Chain A
Amino acid sequence: MAPLRDAPAVPGHTGGNPARMSRPRMAGSISTDGDAGTAFWLMAPALALYAVFTLLPIAATFWLSFNSSAGFNTSASFVGVDNYAKAAQDPIVWKGLVHTFVWLAYHVVMAGGLGLLLALAVSRLRVTQVFFRTAFFLPHLVSLAVVGVIWANIYDPFFGLLNTGLTRIGLGAFTQGWLSDPALVLFSVNVASSWQGFGLYMLLFIAGLQNIDHSLYDAAEVDGANAFQKLIYVTLPGLREVTTFVVSLAMINGLKGFATVFVMTNGGPFYQSELITTYIYRLAFQSQDHGLAAVLCILLSLLAIAITIVFNRWRARLSR
């Protein structure tokens, strides 16, 4: 065995923790002395873009939330926490907040749940799988605004496909004012939004299903497990990682819920489908109350941060 060579002496090094000793340089590598500087200049364009398009707007929104501003070229006046107090006293803000949580829950369950169910169904198909995968994914390619228009027509109480169809098959008693009933409207609009989104979640679940080791099913079969038991003890645990990813994605998409509500109900009737996002739009672009709109933007950001923290903790606990 060849004797181990001593590490080359490092000039100026007087001992201490070997782990902190400088490594020998490789030919052609960037000089250690210039590493930080070079890295900075390499990152500078990205940092500049990030600062201009992300950090600056965040700072501007924060600044605006302490000001009273009625428009883009109106000199803003500092009002302290007045806008925050106004938001706290505004019943529509609270309504919008509750609706946003309900909207999130609907979207995760409906879009995520439908995605999982269809993935389970489609993955069993042999010949027609590509066709169904494509067909179910197609709604995802349609813009949310267009989806809103399509579904608003489907829900039309007098001419819409849904009520007309129910009447034609003798279920006229089940016809509803899908967009006028206060108890139904948020659900109805969310169906449209979820219809647009489930295709993506389905594809993610299919990818997850393909990664499950097939020998686990063979083993379960040998143990006499039926289809339901295989689903509960093999498939769903095998999809844990994908499920957490889909849930996080669905929550982010849910928080961004705006277009379908804006197109289909504009927050109505009588604020029953108002989300924080739709109220922000109305305040900022219709009423020109930029200060209050900025407060709600900050509230929405805090909400997103809180959800992310809670969700990540839950995910960490799951993967333990």
Chain B
Amino acid sequence: MLKFLARTTALAAMIAVSLPAHAETLKMWGPEQITEPLVAQLWNGIKADFEKANPGVTVEFMPPTGTISNGAVQAAIQSDAGPDVILTNSGIGRISVVKNAKQVMPLTEQYEKRGWKDEIYPWLYTELKGQFGGEIYEVPDGLDALGIWYHKDIFAQAGWKIPASWSEFETLMKSIEETGLQPIAIGPRTTGSAGHLFGNLLQSASGKEAIGKALRREIAWDDPSVAAGAIRLQKLVEAGYIKKEMAGLDLDGASRLWFNKRAAMFVAGPWFTANARKAGYDLANAGYAPMPSDIKGADIPTGGVGWSWLVPVNSKQPELAMKWIDFMLSDAVMKKRAQDPASTMIYPREIPGVEPPTPVLKDIFAAAAGGVGYNPSVYLPGPVLDTYFQVIQGLISGQIGGEDGMKQIQAKMAEAK
């Protein structure tokens, strides 16, 4: 018996000695599309590189099942068995939800200490600093640039092109509608899809500056200079260019309409390349252009911070989480991701010498080169967002008018002060 105990103890000691001195596991909530083979391949490569650079560390992916918008991130953090570091679709609106609930760590100090400040666009850092009185809670991983996606072949056959002015764009929609095609698809049952088109319309009708002022509460949302975009949506529905039935579609339903070429246009960002790949759509046929506007300088994509890294307050490995973010911001990883076929976004800093993996991404990068406007979905305060998305549904289903809808958003803005 004593012999057996001695042998077992010796064996246990040998195993303990052979194990790395500081075995650590970093639980990471990765990108939404991580179940897609191409995306998984890229992320498994990044994981392997990080583990190699940090002996004894194991990265464990937690496949995400949602976002801050649907409460999944909050639930994961609240479970206290959640990830140590989270990549999620963000923006000030969503971040305010988890920040107000004190679920994520402030990272301002890390920006200085670890040099993250110099690893993102200066304008982006200034914007982040201005959001919560100087405190920053996220590290941008990708930016969004929302504009019109169209089928190059259909447009070429019909002799159509995305025009420069709004009145010409209305004429284009009329022509498309007369052929029996849906001019533009939207899936407002999914919050993102609702906001993508609406943000484009707001900016096109009012300009970037006016929307920025409304977001900073310098103008009311029901001010005619801001409400014009909502009235524009109301008119598109009344004209039949956007079918009321679309109020019942989600992002997948609306995308299906576009991928099957029953809709001519769709408003989306660079991430739509992943949806297209999944649907087997030929990305070479995808054209991209910002929403036309009669206001000078307003014909740029809307967007903002689309994806960010967050560190939950109950992260078991906060230091390791910071190391992971360092790694993700490094030149090597940034370049690897930007050139990979799984790339679906605009990166938070300029990466010289990188060729986008698809032509449509090249178009998006070019359109966003001069900066992007505001997608209110990611800038509005959390408590206002629900009303914002419901108002869009109300406008598309013909239940409310543009002015009334904007009054409701303004009322929520006033309440959320």
Contact = CB atoms under 8 A, between A and B. Distances in A.
Interface in B363-408: 382-383, 386, 389-391, 393-394, 396-397, 399-400
B204 to A, nearest CB: 23
A285 B70 CA distance: 8
B377 to A, nearest CB: 13
B101 A270 contact: no
Interface stretch (A11-19, A48-56, A176-184, A308-316): A176-184
Nearest to B103: A71
Interface stretch (A28-36, A155-163, A165-173, A227-235): A155-163
A268 B189 CA distance: 7
Interface string B237-250: 00000011111111
Given A270-B390, A270-B397, A286-B386, A177 B101 contact: no
Nearest to B194: A268
Contacts of A72: 78, 101, 103
B351 interface: no
B399 A157 contact: no
B97 A286 contact: yes
A57 interface: no
Contact of A70 (B69, B101, B257, B386): B101
A265 interface: yes
A152 B382 contact: no
Contacts of B248: 155-157, 177-180, 185, 265, 269
Contacts, number: 119
B90 interface: no
Interface string A2-25: 000000000000000000000000
Contact of B100 (A179, A180, A271, A288): A288
Given A71-B102, A177-B248, A269 B243 contact: no
B62 interface: no
B292 interface: no
Contacts of B244: 177, 180-181
A226 interface: no
Interface residues of B, number: 41
A172 to B, nearest CB: 13
Contact of B71 (A74, A185, A272, A285): A285
A319 interface: no
Contact of A269 (B182, B247, B253, B313): B247
Given A182-B399, A268-B393, A287 B188 contact: no
A296 to B, nearest CB: 15
A181 B397 contact: yes
B245 A73 contact: no
Interface in B244-294: 244-250, 253, 256-257, 260, 262
A282 B391 contact: no
Contact of A286 (B71, B243, B257): B71
Contacts of A73: 101-103, 313
A179 to B, nearest CB: 3
A145 to B, nearest CB: 11
Contacts of A156: 248-249, 253, 256
Contact of B382 (A266, A267, A281, A287): A287
A157 B253 CA distance: 9
B102 A158 contact: no
Interface residues of A, number: 34
Interface string B53-79: 000000000000000111100110010
Contacts of B382: 286-288
B393 A270 contact: yes
A39 to B, nearest CB: 37
Given A70-B100, A71-B103, A270-B391, A157 B245 contact: yes
Nearest to A163: B245
A70 to B, nearest CB: 5
Contacts of A178: 248
A265 B246 CA distance: 12
Nearest to A286: B71
Contact of B249 (A157, A185, A271, A281): A157
A289 interface: yes
A11 to B, nearest CB: 59
B397 A180 contact: yes
A265 B187 CA distance: 11
Contacts of A268: 188-189, 247, 389-390, 393
B294 to A, nearest CB: 29
B333 to A, nearest CB: 32
A282 B253 CA distance: 23
B189 A281 contact: no
A158 B258 CA distance: 11
Interface in A260-287: 265-272, 281-282, 284-287
A267 to B, nearest CB: 8
A197 to B, nearest CB: 23
B303 to A, nearest CB: 22
B100 A71 contact: yes
Interface string B74-106: 110010000000000000000001001111000
13 contacts: A73-B313, A74-B100, A157-B243, A158-B253, A158-B256, A159-B256, A182-B397, A185-B248, A269-B188, A285-B74, A286-B68, A286-B386, A288-B101
Given A73-B313, A177-B243, A269-B189, 6 more contacts: A72-B101, A73-B103, A158-B249, A285-B75, A287-B97, A289-B383
Which 5 interchain pairs have the tightest Cβ spacing? Answer: A71-B101, A285-B71, A179-B248, A270-B394, A180-B248
Interface of B: 68-71, 74-75, 78, 97, 100-103, 182, 188-189, 243-250, 253, 256-257, 260, 262, 313, 382-383, 386, 389-391, 393-394, 396-397, 399-400
